[in-house]
Amino acid sequence: MRLAREAGMDLVEVAPTARPPVCRIMDYGKWRYQQQKKEDKSRASSRAGQLKELKLRTVKIGDHDLMIKINHAREFLKENNKVQFTLQFRGREVAHMDLGREIFKKIKNELLMVSKVERDTKLEGRRMTLVLQPEHKSAAKVAPPKPGAGPTAAGAVPAPGPVPARPMAVQAAAPAAPAAAG
């Protein structure tokens, strides 16, 4: 106690259950301040991204406008933010819920590689919502194929789309043998 008073510091009991109890001479106020700073820093770094909302005001949204919204969502997801799509049905559009589900299905397909569904399509009155969260896929799964590997290495050009089915060979009908009389 005397040493702590002379140094102008505190005598802090570190391990009260040990025999003999362990104490330390330190500035307790300064130590608490440093611990608080450490907690604040760890809390800030562990905090997940924010929830970003993208509003679709009608089911009659054009393809290009929808792709712009999807690209914004892709950027938000890359920044580790969650994305909520909100589709507002207006007037008689409420009778066409299937159009809203098709739009959300298209959104999910476009963002399949960078997100996973946190809360699937949900209808709340005149609003339909979908929440996506960033997907942390390993680099091995997402990495593009290495050049020089696979069938394109031999100089073959890959087909631009699905290969059309080959027509079946038409077999010539054999002439029927004359029936034997008798």
Number of H helices and E strands in the chain, helices first, is 5, 6
| 28-42, 71-85, 167-181: the lowest-pLDDT one | 167-181
Sequence ranges of the domains in the chain? 2-46, 51-139
CA 52 – CA 85 distance, rounded (Å) = 9
pTM recorded for the entire structure: 0.51
How confident is the model over 9-47, as pLDDT tens digits?
888 888 888 888 888 888 888 889 999 998 888 776 666
Confidence of residue 135 (pLDDT cuts 50, 70, 90): confident
Query: Which residue carries 């739009």 as its tokens?
Result: 103
According to DSSP, residue 141 is labeled H
- Residue 150 above 80 pLDDT? no
Burial class (CB in 10 A: 0-12, 13-18, 19+), 177: exposed
Mention the CATH class of domain 2-46.
alpha beta
The CATH H-level superfamily of 51-139 is Translation initiation factor 3 (IF-3), C-terminal domain (3.30.110.10)
Residue 4 confidence (pLDDT): 80
- Asked whether this chain's domains 2-46 and 51-139 adopt the same fold, the reply is no
